[in-house]
A and B are shown apart, each in its own frame.
Chain A
Amino acid sequence: MQDLVVVRGRRTVLPGLSCTLRRGAITGLLGPSGCGKSTLIRSIVGVQQVDSGRVEVLGQPAGSATLRSQIGYVTQEASVYDNLSVRDNVAFFSRVLGVPVSDEDRVIEQVGLADHGGSLAGQLSGGQRSRVSLAVALLGEPPLLVLDEPTVGLDPVLRVELWRLFADLAAAGATILVSSHAMDEAARCDDLILMRSGEILAAGTPAQLCDAAGAQDIESVFLKLVRARGEAA
């Protein structure tokens, strides 16, 4: 991704952003609310109107037709049909993607909703609904997963389980981008991108970032970097 500029409404949300994701790694996109994480993610998926710059995904310009079956995308709000059951939701999207029917049970199992297959999505808890949304993204084992805050509203046990799932998928070769504003999730990522106000503060492995800033955890790294910026300005 190079010199990406995105203006939404009258705000320049991303003033010119460049970064790359390592294939087969889990990259965490961390930053405070409103810093432009979702905007960046939408640009990668190819659903964001972009003003200038270049985004290349799996060797193709973002938004190319051939990429559409290769990216599993989880929007920030669970985008599923509330008046359909979990199974019907997954079945619909799997038919759109043209993946085998056997995949439907696999993804429902993977997100831990096997017991809720018949429940209406609208009658699930917030965390369960977002897992339905995640299950849809896992259909067809896409080589790139782009997940916008998939662990919000989940209890610690479930979070650990989902992160284990992400690690398994990455080990199997998938590239994963996960956004979050929970800094404690940083340690579970292979790579990190720290964002603030549409700019990248720092990027690298968690260890690299801690060493460079001379801090113990990512939260302190973030605060130090923010303070350093403030002094420079």
Chain B
Amino acid sequence: MNKAIVAAVTVRVLRQLRRDRRTAAMLLVLPCVLITLLWWVYDGQELVFDRVGAPLLAVFPFIVMFLVTSVTTLSERTSGTLERLLAMPMGKLDFLAGYALAFGAVAIVQGLLTTSLALFVLGLDVAGPAWVLAAVAMLDGVLGTTLGLFVSAFARTEFQAVQFMPAFVLPQLLVCGLLLPRDQLPDALRVASDLLPLSYAVDAMQQVSMHAEWTTDLGRDVVVLVGFIGGALLLGAATLRRRTP
């Protein structure tokens, strides 16, 4: 990996985001609006808000980052800039790492914003420390980013990329333990949910919200999430081809 090239990609992606106000707002403001909306929905039912609030802090950044990253990288493929970059001395991992760092930085800001809002303004009650909540939220944003990078290889147009959202994310949402604890799911669905990354993201948030101290389950969740992030990056690199048909 070439650090100068990774940095160049990161700076460029952030610069593009700065020019693109609407996307920047979608990344930073939308999750805050959603969590506020959720708080409002459960107005007067603080216990329910406490139960679903933390897991949804995992879900919103995941979805938003997934969507924005998959569409952005796809447009890089279709506009010819990717072909041009890969004809230059640019490593595939340099390219992906540059993107992951840029959107990862956004995910960090987003995680800090949403968790501060939820904890300090909306009065979300969690047993665990606030920094763990924020850290897990960021991790989920980064996970969304790397998975978005990976699936963008399987779309030809922006329209197709957007379709991954219902096809790839909504099923995970149904079985991730948010609607029903995962151990109460039918066997086949439980096995499926064991294989999907969002289950671990939501479980990690539930652990933080229920336990004051670090649990082994939380440790396992974090390790699995980091594994998914690394795996998605490597798979993403494998889908970048210097020579195309």
Chain A interface residues toward B at CB < 8 A: 8-9, 45-50, 63, 65, 68-69, 71, 73, 75, 77-84, 88, 92-93, 95-98, 120, 136
Contacts of B163 in A (CB 8 A): none
Closest-CB distance, B22 to chain A (whole angstroms): 11
B207-245 residues with Cβ-Cβ distance < 8 A to A are: 242-245
Instruction: Say yes or no: B16 contacts A47, CB within 8 Å.
Output: no
Instruction: Say yes or no: B84 contacts A136, CB within 8 Å.
Output: yes
Q: How far is the CA of A114 from the CA of B7 in the complex (A)?
A: 26
Instruction: Say yes or no: A96 contacts B90, CB within 8 Å.
Output: yes
Q: How far is the CA of A98 from the CA of B2 in the complex (A)?
A: 11
Q: How far is the CA of A190 from the CA of B163 in the complex (A)?
A: 50
Which 5 A-B pairs have CB atoms at the shortest separation, nearest pair first?
A: A79-B80, A95-B8, A92-B12, A68-B89, A79-B84
Instruction: Given the known inter-chain contacts A46-B243, A48-B244, A84-B16, please indicate yes or no for A79 contacting B79, CB distance below 8 A.
Output: yes
Instruction: Say yes or no: B89 contacts A75, CB within 8 Å.
Output: no
From A47, A79, A80, A97, contact of B89 by CB (8 A): A97
Chain B interface residues toward A at CB < 8 A: 4-5, 7-9, 11-12, 15-16, 19-20, 79-81, 83-90, 242-245
Closest-CB distance, B58 to chain A (whole angstroms): 30
Contacts of B11 in A (CB 8 A): 92
Closest-CB distance, A117 to chain B (whole angstroms): 15
From B12, B87, B242, contact of A71 by CB (8 A): B87
Q: A68-B88, A79-B80, A97-B88 are in contact. List 8 more A-B contacts (CB 8 A).
A: A47-B83, A47-B243, A63-B242, A75-B80, A75-B84, A77-B80, A84-B19, A96-B9
Interface pairs (18), CB distance under 8 Å: A8-B245, A45-B87, A46-B87, A46-B243, A47-B87, A48-B243, A48-B244, A49-B245, A63-B243, A69-B88, A71-B87, A83-B20, A84-B16, A93-B84, A93-B88, A95-B5, A97-B88, A98-B89
Number of residue pairs across A and B with beta carbons under 8 Å?
A: 78
Closest-CB distance, B27 to chain A (whole angstroms): 15
Interface of B is mostly: helix
Q: How far is the CA of A8 from the CA of B8 in the complex (A)?
A: 33
From B19, B81, B242, contact of A47 by CB (8 A): B242
Q: How far is the CA of A96 from the CA of B82 in the complex (A)?
A: 12
Instruction: Say yes or no: B244 contacts A47, CB within 8 Å.
Output: yes
Contacts of B81 in A (CB 8 A): 79-81
Closest-CB distance, B165 to chain A (whole angstroms): 22
Closest-CB distance, A184 to chain B (whole angstroms): 27
Closest-CB distance, A50 to chain B (whole angstroms): 8
Q: How far is the CA of A96 from the CA of B87 in the complex (A)?
A: 11
Instruction: Say yes or no: A88 contacts B15, CB within 8 Å.
Output: yes
Closest-CB distance, A31 to chain B (whole angstroms): 21
Closest-CB distance, B192 to chain A (whole angstroms): 36
From A45, A49, A83, A96, contact of B85 by CB (8 A): A96
Which residue of the partner chain B has the closest CB to A89?
Answer: B12
Instruction: Say yes or no: A98 contacts B86, CB within 8 Å.
Output: no
Contacts of B19 in A (CB 8 A): 83-84, 120
Q: How far is the CA of A9 from the CA of B8 in the complex (A)?
A: 35
Closest-CB distance, B174 to chain A (whole angstroms): 35
